[in-house]
Amino acid sequence: MARIRTIKPSFFLDDELAELPYAARLLFAGLWCLADREGRLEDRPKRIKAEVLPYDDEDVDALLTALAEAGFVQRYEVDGARYIQVVNFAKHQKPNHREAASTIPPPGGNGSQPFPGTPGHAQERQGTRDNPSRAYPGGTGREQEGNIASSSLRSEDACAEPSRAPAPALPAGTAPGRDEAPPDNADPPPVITLPTNRRGTEYPVTKAQVAEWAELYPAVDVVQELRKMRGWLLANKTRRKTARGMPKFINAWLTKEQDRGGAKARASPATPTSGNGRGLAAAVSKFGARVRQEVHHDDGTGDRDRGEGVRALPGVGRNG
């Protein structure tokens, strides 16, 4: 059963592996997917071809021999059964913890012996420059360079970690460490960040965006609405937006709030303070004072006078 494995950038830069034919290099990576959690698999060339190189006319048995002679794999037998060990597999691969344990015996154990034609076997090694009759398919033979232990160092290089690159610049909105000064051209920190639908990533909202939205939606307290958006997104993980769709989500939210009058309008006093509202308020106040005066000096005609007073108020009528 094929499994998911990791391939490192240094795989493509290994000069020892590059001396093998292209098909052998592709086969080498394919063996990782067929191997168990210890890097072992059955040495069955026809079946391996069907799973790794089903559409290519290649001699997989010869390619496996080439990989073994180069020290990238080890072919061996245990009690008549043939197996393959990918050299340094456990060092460079991190199998899933739920993956079943290996049932294949390791090389070098009781009853284990090198596969005929591979390094460590008694017969003379073929495929070297002294005996080019069995050179690597599609390439030239190579001299043996030590035993399989020294050859394993080359396979270790093929899977080795790449050299550590210089630390990248801090992303926008990320504060540097206590002992680090921010670079001169660093972007200012965001006003707030909104979680996106991609785990561990957030959309940064800049001061420039807040200023632009404040002009577009004057009735809205933009910063407070952004806080409400963050709370809503934290509570509704399945309805979060992509980073690309976040501006549309923000504008839709602010537009709806603007149409409702905004928090600023709702927080304003209920008594009108400008325009015709001031005249109406003054008329109502004057009318109230007149009514109180007439009630205090009621001579039996107060009801009629108050009715006339109501009709006499400017702008106050049956529909006013």
Q: pLDDT digits over 253-300, tens only?
A: 999 999 988 665 555 554 444 455 566 667 767 777 776 776 665 555
Highest mean pLDDT among 72-81, 145-154, 295-304: 72-81
Residue 187 lies in a domain: no
Residue 115 lies in a domain: yes
CA pair distance 157, 163, nearest whole angstrom: 11
Angle, in degrees to the nearest 10, between helices 222-235 and 246-259 = 120
Per-residue pLDDT at 173 exceeds 70:
no
Residue 181 lies in a domain: no
Q: What SS3 class is residue 284?
A: helix
Q: What SS3 class is residue 73?
A: strand
| pLDDT-wise least confident of 59-73, 102-116, 172-186, 234-248 | 172-186
Residues 121, 239 within the same domain: no
CA pair distance 217, 252, nearest whole angstrom: 11
Residue 174 lies in a domain: no
Reported confidence tier of residue 128, pLDDT bands at 50, 70, 90: very low
**Quick one: average pLDDT of 70-79?**
94
Residue 200 lies in a domain: yes
Q: What is the pLDDT of residues 189-211, one digit of tens each?
A: 999 999 999 888 999 999 999 99
Nearest to 277 by CA among 246, 319, 315, 313: 315
Residues 211, 299 within the same domain: no
| pLDDT-wise least confident of 113-122, 129-138, 201-210, 292-301 | 129-138
Q: What pLDDT score was predicted for residue 319? A: 52
| Joined tokens for residue 294 | 């007439």
Residues 288, 224 within the same domain: no
- Beta strands at 112-114 and 202-205: parallel, antiparallel or unpaired: unpaired
% of the chain surpassing 70 pLDDT: 59
Residues 210, 298 within the same domain: no
Residue 317 lies in a domain: no
* Final residue before a domain boundary, out of 116, 138, 159: 159
Residues 235, 261 within the same domain: yes
Per-residue pLDDT at 188 exceeds 60:
yes
Q: What pLDDT score was predicted for residue 147? A: 40
Q: What pLDDT score was predicted for residue 278? A: 62
Residue 319's CB: how many other CB atoms inside 10 A?
4
Cα torsion 285, 291, 296, 299 to 10°: value is: 160
Contact 119, 71 (CB under 8 A): yes
Residue 153 makes CB contacts below 8 A (sequence gap 6+) with 71
Q: What SS3 class is residue 106?
A: coil
Residues 262, 293 within the same domain: no
Residues 35, 123 within the same domain: yes
Nearest to 198 by CA among 169, 233, 166: 233
pLDDT top residue among 79 and 156: 79
Q: What is the tally of structural domains in the chain?
A: 3
Residues 290, 249 within the same domain: no
| Joined tokens for residue 263 | 């928090």
List residues bridging with 195 in a β-sheet.
202
* Final residue before a domain boundary, out of 159, 183, 207: 159
Helix-then-strand count for the chain, H and E:
12, 6
**Domain range for 250:** 192-266
Residues 139, 250 within the same domain: no
pLDDT top residue among 20 and 110: 20
CA pair distance 220, 75, nearest whole angstrom: 72
Residues 123, 26 within the same domain: yes
Highest mean pLDDT among 27-36, 123-132, 258-267: 27-36
> Residue 206 corresponds to which amino acid?
T
Q: Mean pLDDT over all residues of the chain? A: 74
Residue 198 lies in a domain: yes
CA pair distance 109, 78, nearest whole angstrom: 8
Residue 185 lies in a domain: no
Residue whose token pair is 């006003």: 191
Q: What pLDDT score was predicted for residue 74? A: 94
* C-alpha 165 chain-centroid distance: 21
pLDDT top residue among 184 and 152: 184
Residues 16, 136 within the same domain: yes
Q: pTM score > 0.85 for this model?
A: no
Counting beta carbons within 10 angstroms of the beta carbon of residue 175, is it exposed (0 to 12), middle (13 to 18) or buried (19 or more)? exposed
